[in-house]
Amino acid sequence: EKASLEITLNSVSPGLSLQCYSCPDGSSSICEVKQECGQGEDSCLKLTSGGKTYTECLRNADCDFMTLAVRYALADFDFSCCQTKLCNEEEKTFFQRVKDWFG
């Protein structure tokens, strides 16, 4: 429990740029690429469509269905934006969690 609390505190400290997972071309497996967000990019995007997940840094103002539909040229997708460090991590499937657990 203690470790997760520390992570939360670190993610809100001011002056540090946000860090997000970044696989903007879409990944069908867990995205491992981490990116320091640029100035003004205050959100992490997670967008899913057709079995692929697209992740990147984003301005919160661009976290909008129409903006993303144009940017990604996808007709049908789900998306969410969040503002804490590496918060756009993909949910691991049960199988992947078991694999992590047993190494």
Class of residue 88 by CB neighbours under 10 A (exposed 0-12, middle 13-18, buried 19+): buried
Domain ranges in the chain? 18-102
Interatomic CA distance for residues 88 and 64, integer angstroms: 16
| pLDDT of 57 higher than 80 | yes
Say which CATH topology domain 18-102 has: CD59 (2.10.60)
| pLDDT of 7 higher than 50 | no
pLDDT for 13: 46
Q: Contact, 55 vs 21, CB < 8 A? A: yes
| pLDDT of 10 higher than 50 | no
